[in-house]
Amino acid sequence: MLELYGTTISSRLLLGTARYPSPAVLAEAIRRSETRIVTVSLRRETASGKTGGVFFEMIRDLGVRVLPNTAGCHSVSEAVLTAKMAREVFATNWIKLEVIGHHDTLQPDVFSLVEAARILTAEGFEVFPYTTDDLVVAEKLLEAGCKVLMPWCAPIGSAAGPLNLTALRTLRGHFPDVPLIVDAGIGRPSHAATVMELGYDAVLLNTAVAGASDPAAMAGAFARAVEAGHEAYHAGMLEPRDMAVPSTPVIGKAVFA
């Protein structure tokens, strides 16, 4: 079981809720993913006006936990204000903290991220920081009070999959007891399985499901991939080797009568 800020969660797949063709498709994708946590952007959803209330009701009816996010925020003050509004709207101290620093890559501004994380944890928030795969930044976020880290594996929406397995492995190695969730850039179930095979605790994804031809079916595929990667990690995988090793041991010589 996954434990996040003292809460036990039965699924290791977290799902974004943006860019689905319709609310009905989103609802079916959530069901098929078996996720227990969806992330919701307060700014984007309420910006759509009339549909905001209906959208939030639907999420509530599905019985999943909401992890509000600060998507679209570009400064510490914007992110902190958005987090406080989200706490009011969703009645949760959980916040997925995003402070975007770069227009083209949507790369987090890690300096502002650490500052915002420090402010929010001091105010009682339980912060899930969307960060890069940088080890030193990860250390600063932990010092700031974060108890979960969410490194990207590639830019948001790129579907590029894990671009730097070494960096992800390094984070896992340095923080064996911190829940690590890969957030952003996953494009295929095999990408999700790959990061889970590194020992990651969970993945959060949006575009790969929302943008699929059949989002609900893709959500189901991701659910199985995440579980497969997790089980494989704990089952003890073989290290690749250069030389062949016969898979069928041969004893003596065959005797032909």
Ligand X SMILES: CC(=O)[C@@H](O)[C@H](O)COP(=O)(O)O
Give residues in contact with ligand X (CB under 6 A).
Answer: 16, 18, 39, 69, 71, 130, 156-157, 183-186, 205-208
Q: Which is nearer to ligand X, 78 or 257 (CB)?
A: 78
Q: Is 207 annotated as a binding residue?
A: yes
The residue sitting closest to ligand X, measured at its beta carbon, is 16
Q: Which residues are catalytic?
A: 96
Residue 125 CA from chain centroid, whole number: 19
CB 172 within 8 A of CB 200: yes
Q: Which is nearer to ligand X, 30 or 205 (CB)?
A: 205
CB 76 within 8 A of CB 108: no
* CB-count burial class (<10 Å; 0-12, 13-18, 19+) for 5: middle
Cβ 107 to ligand X shortest distance, Å: 12
Element spanning 218, H or E: helix 215-235
> How many beta carbons lie within 10 A of that of residue 110, not counting itself?
19
Q: Which residue type, as a one-letter code, is found at position 248?
A: T
Cβ 142 to ligand X shortest distance, Å: 20
Q: Which is nearer to ligand X, 221 or 244 (CB)?
A: 221
Q: Which is nearer to ligand X, 9 or 257 (CB)?
A: 9
Cβ 20 to ligand X shortest distance, Å: 11
Q: Is 157 annotated as a binding residue?
A: yes
DSSP letter at 106 equals -
Cβ 238 to ligand X shortest distance, Å: 30
Q: Is 53 annotated as a binding residue?
A: no
The span from the CA of 250 to the CA of 252, in Å, is 7
Tracing tokens 């795969």 back to the chain, one arrives at 133
List binding-site positions for 1-deoxy-D-xylulose 5-phosphate: 157, 184-185, 206-207
List binding-site positions: 157, 184-185, 206-207
